[in-house]
Amino acid sequence: MVIVASGLTKRYGEVVAVDDVSLRIAAGEVYALLGLNGAGKTTAIRMLLGMVRPTGGSVTVLGTEIRPGAHGVWSRVGYLVETPAAYPDLTVVENLTVAARLRGLRGRRQVDDVVERLRLTQYARNRARTLSLGNAQRLGLAKALLHRPELLILDEPANGLDPAGVAEIRDLLLELSRGQGVTVLLSSHILTEVARLATRIGVIDRGRLVREIAAADLAGHVRRRLSVSVRDRAAAEKALRAAGFDVSRGEGDQVVLTDPRAIGEPEVVAGVLVAAGCPPYRLAVDQDDLETFFLRVVEP
Amino acid sequence: MIGVLATELLKARRSRVPEVTALAFTVVALVGGLFMFILQDRERARSIGLLGAKASLAGGAADWPTYLSFLAQSTAVGGMIVFGLVEIWTFGREFGQHTVKDLLALPTPRVTIVAAKFVVVALWCLLLTAQLLVLGLLIGTVLHLPGWSADEVLTGLLRAGAVALMTVLLTTPVAFAACVGRGYLPGVGAMIAAVFCAQIVAALGYGRYFPWSVPALCSGLAGPGQPPPGALGVVLVVLTGAAGAVGTALWWRQADHDR
């Protein structure tokens, strides 16, 4: 096991930030900690990285028990915690050089490689203070990847990135995991991103790990529905019921179908409505947002 | 350690703070020179009024011993502020800029990073002192100050150097405050409290038992009526410096870094 956490607990006075969390993450897994803001994801990650001392429980990372002064293991771990930070007066390359020296790396090759890999080449000589939030996030990820770690611990790695950047980072992490066997533990509050990337998902709520779901089973937990907007809702409902669909009313002039057949073949629904003389002007398959998903997963 | 020192030096070099602190100590040397220039001609000093009256507080004589004493006293009082700011900036920036989290889970032990910071601060402050003394020698030479004697000047320079060394040691608790308070302001508060208390305690006559008063007493700032701090004062300074450094290192190693 790459990460073994047993009964991990962190209390701040009366407040329990992380409550008896146990995790076992195997080599090559992409494990996502999914939770709302304030759920305890970052505190759990900081405990895994030895930044915060647990009130109870223990953590082993790559076979090393994490305690104050245990620093040897970190040469095999890359991490990004919360919003990325960099020395504003230093350029991108200088920030990476500082990180490389602190990791005992010699020479410029690794810095140049990671600059190219994270597409920071055109900003390499720019001071960190001038970077956009997205490029600052890339710099943070570059620091995490600089030494080619076996384990990546990333707290909200998609923060601040535009959609293209999110897809790019997702592809990079998939390539690292599937191509190079890197184990990834990431936290996120973006359900769709987690669904595309993770092999296993741990749902964390109010400090407790309430559920672990294999990514393959996620579809069974996320409710989807087909929303159809029509001019004549009554006629549409009648036609769809006649065709054997369960129909409910949505907002405004929407008709909502949760039938798997309707979600899987929306063109059939469109055909029924066109034939009935009330063609849809909008058809969309919607998915639960994180809050709705949580209400269902957390409160059975 | 060399690699870590190199990173700390790079971080310091790329900022404006070294230039600002060098400017501050240049101003100190120039102000001292201005006092000497005024004191060389008493009539001119009186005609200037307030500035002349202030200048007479430095001892009233325009010669090498007075000028070197002024430089040592400036190192004791100004040094506590400027060296303290160097210390606060070196440690507090990691919290102010949120970069501390990138220093906590590395193959380099946290204690090594703290030690490198203290080494860079010490080198920086001693370079500032050297700059002040070299400028002082140049200004004194340009002003043709009387009273030059190799022994006298060497003693003055050594005294200023020793005062600077003690002052640097006394700034380590300020670094501790900046770390525990996770930012610049707690460090600034601790520094102001130290300077303020040093003045009060010295004025009450107990300066040799209060570490932050000791450099000023050694520099002769309290005047001839005050007894020198002696070995006890120096020991207290060393113990305070060590306590600040060890406390800072222990805090980095043991504390919860949850922000």
For B106-141, the pLDDT digits (tens) are 999 999 999 999 999 999 999 999 999 999 999 988
Same domain, residue pair A250 and A211: no
CATH number at residue A111: 3.40.50.300
Determine whether the interchain pair B10/A74 forms a contact, defined as Cβ–Cβ distance below 8 Å. no
Is the pLDDT score of B52 beyond 60?
Answer: no
Q: Six-digit token pair at B79? A: 């040094």
Gap from B107 CA to chain A (nearest CA, Å): 5
- Chain A residues inside the 8 Å CB shell of B5: none
Q: Are A146 and A78 in contact (CB under 8 A)?
A: yes
Helix axes A133-145, A109-117, angle to 10 degrees: 140
Residue with tokens 């030096």: B9
Select the more confidently predicted residue: A186 or A133.
A186
Is the pLDDT score of B62 beyond 60?
Answer: yes
For residue B253, give the nearest of A68, A75, A81 by CB distance: A68
Select the more confidently predicted residue: A220 or A12.
A12
Same domain, residue pair A178 and A247: no
Instruction: Give helix then strand counts, H and E, for chain B.
Output: 11, 0
Residue A225 in 3-state DSSP? Answer: strand
The pLDDT value recorded for residue A20 is 93
Domain boundaries, position A33: 3-220
- Chain B residues inside the 8 Å CB shell of A89: 11, 14-15
Query: Of A220, A252, A279, at which residue does a domain stop?
Result: A220
Is the pLDDT score of A216 beyond 80?
Answer: no
Residue with tokens 């790459």: A2
Same domain, residue pair A204 and A172: yes
Length of chain B counted residue by residue: 259
Count the neighbouring beta carbons within 10 Å of the beta carbon of residue A109: 10
Helix axes B230-254, B150-169, angle to 10 degrees: 40
Q: What is the pLDDT of residues A254-300, one digit of tens each?
A: 899 888 888 888 888 899 999 988 899 998 888 776 667 767 766 65
Query: Of A195, A220, A245, at which residue does a domain stop?
Result: A220
Query: Of A171, A189, A220, at which residue does a domain stop?
Result: A220
Is the pLDDT score of B54 beyond 70?
Answer: no
Is the pLDDT score of B224 beyond 70?
Answer: no
For residue A71, give the nearest of B7, B97, B106 by CB distance: B106
Q: Six-digit token pair at A199? A: 């092999």
Mean pLDDT of all residues in B174-180: 96
pLDDT band at B58 (very low <50, low <70, confident <90, very high): very low
Determine whether the interchain pair B107/A86 forms a contact, defined as Cβ–Cβ distance below 8 Å. no
The pLDDT value recorded for residue B209 is 87
Mean pLDDT of all residues in A14-29: 92
Asked whether this complex has an ipTM greater than 0.95, the answer is no
CA-CA distance, B72 to B79, in Å (whole number)? 9
The pLDDT value recorded for residue A223 is 76
Mean pLDDT of all residues in A188-214: 85
Q: Output the pTM of the full model.
A: 0.83
Highest mean pLDDT among A264-273, B137-146, B240-249: B240-249
Select the more confidently predicted residue: B46 or B109.
B109
CA-CA distance, B226 to B208, in Å (whole number)? 9
Comparing alpha-carbon positions, the chain B residue that sits nearest to A153 is B105
CATH number at residue A246: 3.30.70
CA-CA distance, B144 to B139, in Å (whole number)? 9
* Mean pLDDT over each residue of chain B, to the nearest integer: 87
Structural domain count of chain A = 2
